[in-house]
Amino acid sequence: MASGFFVLLDDIAAIMDDVAVMSKVAAKKTAGILGDDLAVNAEKASGFASSRELPVLWAISKGSLLNKVIILPIAFLLSAFFPIAIIIILVLGGLFLAYEGAEKIYEFIFPHEEPSEGITEETFTEEEILALEKDKIKSAIVTDFILSVEIVIIALGTVIGKPISSQIAVVSIVALIATIGVYGIVAIIVRMDEVGFKMIQHSKKEKSILKTIGNILVQALPKVIKLLTVVGTIALLLVSGGLFVHNIEFLHHLFPQLPSILKEFIIGLVAGFIVLGIVNLFKKIFGRKAH
């Protein structure tokens, strides 16, 4: 009886070792998309009043966890019984990401008359703040859903052929790490200025290391957010282009002489502006009908 129990423990330990090794491989494979996920979500989680940053980020994080709960079982079922559906979903997701990236570029070139100070009580009423927060949270969760699909599919691709229990364990671990890691870092980024202010307040000397670091953090946050806005936009186009190139045979063999990163960016950009043009056309048509 005792020997059987210890054999069972050895088997469990061996399985855990295999899962740890496979999880490490899957994490490496998804590292690129996790970097894109971080850039995109940091940009989307910024621009709120200081007191609202963490509540908003927590709402997005909960939405991200719910996304994973929805995606994981569907991914396992589709992978087993209807694998072509995964490609269709990835391509549709790529179109949405490309549209978001192209829309950001379009708005930069042709800016709308909107306040740029951020969502604060000085620029909006309380009702408007709540409505804008809700819209930004919804947008962030939708984008997270698409990025999460790719993370899950890439992780799943590293354990195809393994026992289903190992697949579930590995992909679930990667999905959980993706959520905790990405939004943990995002939380640190959006709270940089608050940490900087506290360091300045606690500094008793006019010229001290604490105060210097605090000033650097306060001054760096707007620049980091602007940088993340640019990086996030590029990431959206790269991710979408990668989805098209890896899942559409024609695009995979198109322009073989180009570096893959440049090829994916161009394809994502072109696809994004095509979708943006179609969406804007529909808006004009239905806008006229509404009037």
Query: pLDDT per position in the chain (291 positions), as tens?
Result: 444 433 333 333 444 444 555 555 455 545 555 666 666 666 666 666 666 777 888 888 888 889 888 888 888 888 778 878 877 877 888 898 889 889 989 988 887 655 444 555 555 666 777 777 888 888 888 888 877 887 787 777 667 667 777 778 888 888 888 788 778 877 777 777 777 877 877 777 767 787 788 888 778 877 877 777 787 788 778 888 888 888 888 888 888 888 888 998 999 999 999 999 999 888 888 766 555
Indicate whether 65 belongs to any domain.
Answer: yes
Q: In this structure, is residue 192 part of a structural domain?
A: yes
Determine, yes or no, domain membership for 6: no
How confident is the model at residue 120, as a pLDDT?
Answer: 52
128 with 52: CB under 8 angstroms? no
Q: What domain range is 101 assigned to?
A: 23-248+259-290
| Among candidate residues 144, 103, 94, 102, the one with its CA nearest the CA of residue 248 | 94
The SS3 assignment for 119 reads strand
Block residue for tokens 């970097």: 35
Task: Please check whether residue 12 lies inside any domain of the structure.
Answer: no
What pTM does this model have?
0.66
Residue 82 backbone class (left: φ over 0; alpha: ψ -120 to 50; beta: rest) = beta
According to the model, what pLDDT value does residue 122 have? Answer: 52
Is residue 94 in some structural domain? yes
Count of domains observed in the chain: 1
Residue 93 belongs to some domain of the structure = yes
Flag whether 225 is in a domain.
yes
The answer to whether the CB of 237 falls within 8 A of the CB of 254 is: no
Long-range contacts, stretch 274-280, CB < 8 angstroms, 24+ apart: 275/95, 275/98, 275/99, 275/102, 276/99, 276/102, 276/103, 276/106, 279/99
Number of CB atoms found within 10 A of residue 167's CB:
22
Query: Which pair of tokens denotes residue 92?
Result: 């549709």
Closest among 67, 64, 276, 28 to 186, alpha carbons compared:
64
The verdict on residue 56 lying in a domain is yes
Give residue 93's pLDDT.
80
